[in-house]
Amino acid sequence: MPEFHRTNGLTEVATHYCPGCTHGVIHRLIGEVLTELDVLSNTIGVVPVGCAVMAYDYFNCDCVQAPHGRAPAVATGVKRALPDATVFTYQGDGDLAAIGTAETVHAATRGENITVIFVNNAIYGMTGGQMAPTTLPGQVTQTTPEGRDVHRAGFPVRMSEMLATLDGAAYIERVSMDSVPHIRTAKKAIRKAFETQLAGKGFSMVEVLSTCPTNWGMSPVDALEWVKEKMIPYYPLGVYKDRTKEGVF
């Protein structure tokens, strides 16, 4: 029976994430993939503002912390200066789909050869549970106390679907952390996204449906169930774009 080891892709610093939060699993998947692809020593991570702001302490690679939403622009600067390095951003929903929408869309449409890991948990975690661009209709948050009323607060954004329409996007997949099989699929997707970058094919993004038990006010197990029952129907899993064979250019 195989032993469970810490991946060399992560440092030994204990993460600050809340119990039951799936950020840690996503970190581990990235660390494993970077190790397996043997690119860790030549990788630059770009971390966001949000719950993952301190991820620079966790990934065992060079890291820069970007202003809120600007990670794809920062990653663009890094990648243009170091075209042979592996460059990824790690962003939450507020970061990527609200304040940083322009940076996200334009990095994608430029076919910027970077990998974006997009953690969608339908809420602002770090600031204590406000409405996110991906908050579901009817979902209660601190700033939608009666539930998200789409007439007043508008509709959630489906980023994978949106970005898939862009010619510069080479690989877009939505995965989920709600079950072991889905986590396995997620790892494959993350690997595929990084392989897309290594092959120089263009922009790649994996959207990961994740939990926030603390701000959802649920137990970790209920939170996983909520992802399955509420989030996945609104944000269907699957590959939205795959031009990894032909490339985007």
Partner 1 sequence: MPQKFLMKGNEAIAEAAIRAGCRFFFGYPITPQTEVAAYMAKRMPEVNGVYLQAESEVAAINMVLGAASTGARVMTSSSSPGISLKSEGISYIAASDLPCVIINVQRAGPGLGGIQPSQADYFQATRGLGHGDFHLMVFAPAGVQEITDLVAQAFDLSDRYRVPALILADGMIGQMMEPVAFSEQSPHPAEKPWALTGHRNQRRPNIINTLHLSPDKLEQTVIERFARYDSICANETLCEQMLTDDADVVVVAYGAASRIAKAAVRAAREKGIRAGLFRPITLWPYPSAALAALCETTKAFLCVEMSMGQMVEDVRLAVNGRRPVEFYGRTGGNVPHPNDILQAIESAAQMAPQNERR
Asked if residue 240 binds partner 1 (CB under 8 A), the reply is no
Within positions 20 to 49, which residues make up the interface with partner 1, using CB under 8 A?
A: 41-44, 46
Closest distance to partner 1 from the beta carbon of 247 (Å): 20
User: Is there a contact between 247 and 200 (Cβ–Cβ < 8 Å)?
Assistant: yes
User: Is there a contact between 107 and 76 (Cβ–Cβ < 8 Å)?
Assistant: yes
Closest distance to partner 1 from the beta carbon of 31 (Å): 12
Instruction: Output the CA–CA distances (angstroms, integers) from residue 59 to 28, 54, 90, in the order listed.
Output: 9, 10, 11
The Cα 226–Cα 235 span in angstroms is: 13
The Cα 1–Cα 229 span in angstroms is: 33
Closest distance to partner 1 from the beta carbon of 109 (Å): 9
Within positions 65 to 94, which residues make up the interface with partner 1, using CB under 8 A?
A: 65-67, 70, 73-82, 85
Asked if residue 64 binds partner 1 (CB under 8 A), the reply is yes
Among the residue ranges 50-58, 150-158, 198-206, 238-246, the one whose residues contact partner 1 (CB under 8 A):
50-58
Q: Which is nearer to partner 1, 62 or 222 (CB)?
A: 62
Number of amino acids touching partner 1 (CB under 8 A) = 35
Within positions 97 to 156, which residues make up the interface with partner 1, using CB under 8 A?
A: 102-103, 105-106
Q: Which is nearer to partner 1, 64 or 153 (CB)?
A: 64
Q: Which is nearer to partner 1, 22 or 76 (CB)?
A: 76
The Cα 220–Cα 215 span in angstroms is: 11
Three-state secondary-structure class, residue 111: coil
Q: Which is nearer to partner 1, 205 or 231 (CB)?
A: 205
Asked if residue 161 binds partner 1 (CB under 8 A), the reply is no
Strand pairing report for 203-209 and 62-65: unpaired
The Cα 107–Cα 92 span in angstroms is: 16
H helices within the chain, ranges in order? 23-36, 71-81, 93-94, 101-109, 150-153, 159-164, 180-198, 213-216, 220-226, 232-234
Q: Which is nearer to partner 1, 65 or 143 (CB)?
A: 65
Question: Which residues contribute to the site for partner 1 (CB under 8 A)?
Answer: 11, 41-44, 46, 53-54, 56-57, 59-67, 70, 73-82, 85, 102-103, 105-106
